[in-house]
Structures are given as C-alpha cells and as structure tokens.
Amino acid sequence: MSKNIARKAGLDKPLLVFNRSPTRSVDLQAELGTDKAEIADSIAAGVAQADVVFVCVIDDKAAADTVHDILKTDVGGKLIVNCTTVHPSTSDKLGHLVEAAGADYVASPVVGQEPVAEDGTLLALLSGPKASVKRVTRAVVDLSDQPYGKALTLKIVGNTLIFSMVEQLAESLVFADKAGLGAAAIHSWVENVFGFPFSYYSERMISGDYYNRDYPAAHIDGSIEVSGHARELSHAVGAQLPILDIVVDHLAQVKSIKGDKGDLAGIYGILRMKAGLKYENQE
C-alpha cells in the first residue's frame, strides 16, 4: 500500500513512513528511493509533519497503541485513516478518541491478496462522516455517515468467505492427492472455473509457498484475530458459522506447528497431516 501511495498519489514531498520493525522502513525506502520515501524516526515525528496519517498494523492492540501514540501529538485538523482490520467496537472507540482530539477519522479496511496490493487495486471499505471520507477518496464501497465499525463489520463478514474458500480448497487438494489425481489437476480446474482469488491460494498451496516464506503472506496471528472477531460477532447475533468453527481449529494447529511463520494457507498443511502426509508438500 505504501509503495502505491508513494508512486501514484501525486505527492509533492516524499511519503513519510514508520514501521515498528525499522528494517522494513529501510527496505521500503531503498526500493522507492529517497525522493519517494522518507523514514520518520518515530510516530510523533511523522505525525507532526503530516496532514493525512494512514495506519495499517496487525491487530486491535497494535491499532489502539498506534492511535494513542498518534494522539500524543497535536492532530487538530489532520485526517487519520485506519486500514487495520479490527473489531467494529474497536474502530468506533478509536474514531471517537480521534474526533475528541480535533481530527477526522475514517475506518478503511481493505480487501485483496498480496498481488492485488502490489497492483494498487485493493478494494477499500470506507466508513465515517461523509466529509471525512471525501478527504480520502471516492469510496468504492460507500458506507459514508455510518458508524466507523460498519466498514469493519463488512470486512469481517467478507473474510468469512475467504476463510471458507481456503478451507475448502485445502480439502480438495488433499483429496485429489490421496485419490491419485494429483493437486495440479484440481489447481487447473480451479483456475478455469473460479479464477482469482481461488487460483491465488491454490497456487500458494501446491507450490509450497504456504510454509517457505520468511514472512507469511497471510500471517497466522492476524487470521486468528479476525476469525475470532467473526466468531464473536456471529454469536452475538445468533448466526451459525460451522465452517468457521473448523477453520478456527485448523488455524490454532497451524500456529502450534509453525509459530510466527504460520500462514492462513497453512490449513493445507494441517489437512495433509490429517490424511497421513507431511505438513510440507515439497520435502
């Protein structure tokens, strides 16, 4: 996301970037160049120089901590855009805190896998006061003048479809292998019948990408957090999500085996193990 803001937003100054893992900021600046990206020494230093502040972190706690750090600086008249997928109630609380500090707040979770982010075509779900939303962009899914949490509710409900897709893809690929058909045949079928994003996750599974990355494409901690939010919301309204219950169990098993290297697509590895195969499909 930062790359595309720096390259395509028409900024008259370098994009100020800050990451809690400093090496990632250094790598980003090296890729973009100093004319496109400038590393802020701290959140406060970056916020002090910015009119618009984008937040995109791993979970609710990180989002809350980041917003609280932002509010230690005078934010009067600034716009805070939170792209983190958090619980709707967390978004509402953070939005009200930002408002009370004299700034505008927009909840803007985004939808799309890594290739979509690289291409700059993520789907933005924007909620908050219409005037604030207009300061960001034209909302692709317009939830203007609705509570901040509505965009997060939409994101979380939509993510249950992603979770279900990954679970069912993994089941089918393992089934194909055990039946002597081979996962590649199912992958070809998926590409031709369903296309993206089914084919994206299928490719990640059969290529071994689900366990071979230094940093997971769909980090297990984020997946566990969001699936937990979905479970909580569904229980609160009396909706049954039986596939999600299976996914939650499999995510916990991925975490126990791979730790911080765990990935949502690692559900494939868990189902391989249940079928008597190794977690890793390329070893």
> What structural domains and CATH numbers belong to the chain?
42-147 (3.40.50.720), 153-274 (1.10.1040.10)
Distance (Å, whole) CA 172 – CA 274 = 13
Q: Whole-model pTM?
A: 0.78
Q: What is the pLDDT at residue 104?
A: 95
Q: What is the pLDDT at residue 11?
A: 82
CB 111 within 8 A of CB 125: yes
Task: Kindly give the confidence (pLDDT) of every residue in the chain, 283 residues in length, as a single tens digit, with 9 standing for 90 and above.
Answer: 888 888 877 788 889 999 988 888 998 899 888 989 899 999 999 999 999 999 999 899 999 999 999 999 999 999 999 999 999 999 999 999 999 999 999 999 988 877 777 777 778 889 999 899 888 875 567 788 999 999 999 999 999 999 999 999 999 999 999 999 999 999 999 999 998 889 999 999 999 999 999 889 999 999 999 999 999 999 999 999 999 999 999 999 999 999 999 999 999 999 999 999 999 998 7
Q: What is the pLDDT at residue 138?
A: 56
Q: What is the pLDDT at residue 140?
A: 67
Distance (Å, whole) CA 14 – CA 37 = 5
The β-bridge relationship of strands 104-107 and 141-144 is unpaired
Vertex 68 angle, CA 64 and 74, to 5° = 145
Number of Cα atoms under 13 Å in the Cβ half of residue 132: 28
Distance (Å, whole) CA 248 – CA 151 = 23
Neighbours of 26 (CB within 10 A): 14
**Phi, psi at 37, each rounded to 5°:** -140, 135
- Return all residues near 81 (Cβ < 8 A) that are at least 6 apart: 52, 53, 54, 55, 105, 106, 108, 136
Three-state SS string across the chain, please? CHHHHHHHCCCCCCEEECCCCHHHHHHHHHHHCCCCEEECCCHHHHHHHCCEEEECCCCHHHHHHHHHHHCCCCCCCCEEEECCCCCHHHHHHHHHHHHHCCCEEEECCEECCHHHHHHCCCEEEEEECHHHHHHHCCCCEEEECCCCHHHHHHHHHHHHHHHHHHHHHHHHHHHHHHCCCCHHHHHHHHHHHCCCCHHHHHHHHHCCHHHHCCCCCCEHHHHHHHHHHHHHHHHHHCCCCHHHHHHHHHHHHHHHHHHHHCEHHHHHHHHHHHCCCCCCCCC
The β-bridge relationship of strands 52-55 and 37-39 is unpaired
Vertex 63 angle, CA 75 and 153, to 5° = 110
